[in-house]
Amino acid sequence: MAPGGFSRLPSGSVVVALTLPHPDAAGHGGTGTIRVLVHAANRQRALTRVRNLGFRSVRLTGNAEPPTPDEISAVLHHPDGMVWRRKEACDTDLWQPLSALRA
């Protein structure tokens, strides 16, 4: 279960925000985490998009860490609708496409 949350947009779609372990950190004994944002028609589709990239055990229960307005803007302006950056990153760090994380 990943800490995170979601925000429903006026169009009816949602932006889901998840905090996940960095894939490279698991193999190297690190503890890095990433913040993942996904724009989709509903929460289930957003989680499916993340699972299809290899994060198989992703579940979202509750709304403890919903996306901020800046995060929503970042994912809406990205063509893939899926972005990430390190959780510890400062606000000036750029969001990256989620597909590039698993490449």
CB atoms closer than 10 angstroms to residue 36: 26
The confidence score (pLDDT) of residue 1 equals: 55
The confidence score (pLDDT) of residue 86 equals: 86
Can you tell me the distance from the alpha carbon of 31 to that of 2, in angstroms, rounded to the nearest whole number? 15
Percent over 90 (pLDDT), the chain = 43
The confidence score (pLDDT) of residue 17 equals: 93
For residue 15, pLDDT beyond 90 = yes
**Is residue 20 within 8 Å of residue 98, measured between CB atoms?**
no
Can you tell me the distance from the alpha carbon of 51 to that of 74, in angstroms, rounded to the nearest whole number? 21
Q: pTM value?
A: 0.85
Residue 28: pLDDT band with limits 50, 70, 90 = very low
* Closest listed residue to residue 96, CA positions, set 22, 3, 6, 12: 22
Place of tokens 């972005």: 83
Q: What is the mean pLDDT of residues 36-44?
A: 94
Give how far the C-alpha of residue 59 lies from the chain's centroid of Cα atoms, to the nearest Å: 12
For residue 22, pLDDT beyond 50 = yes
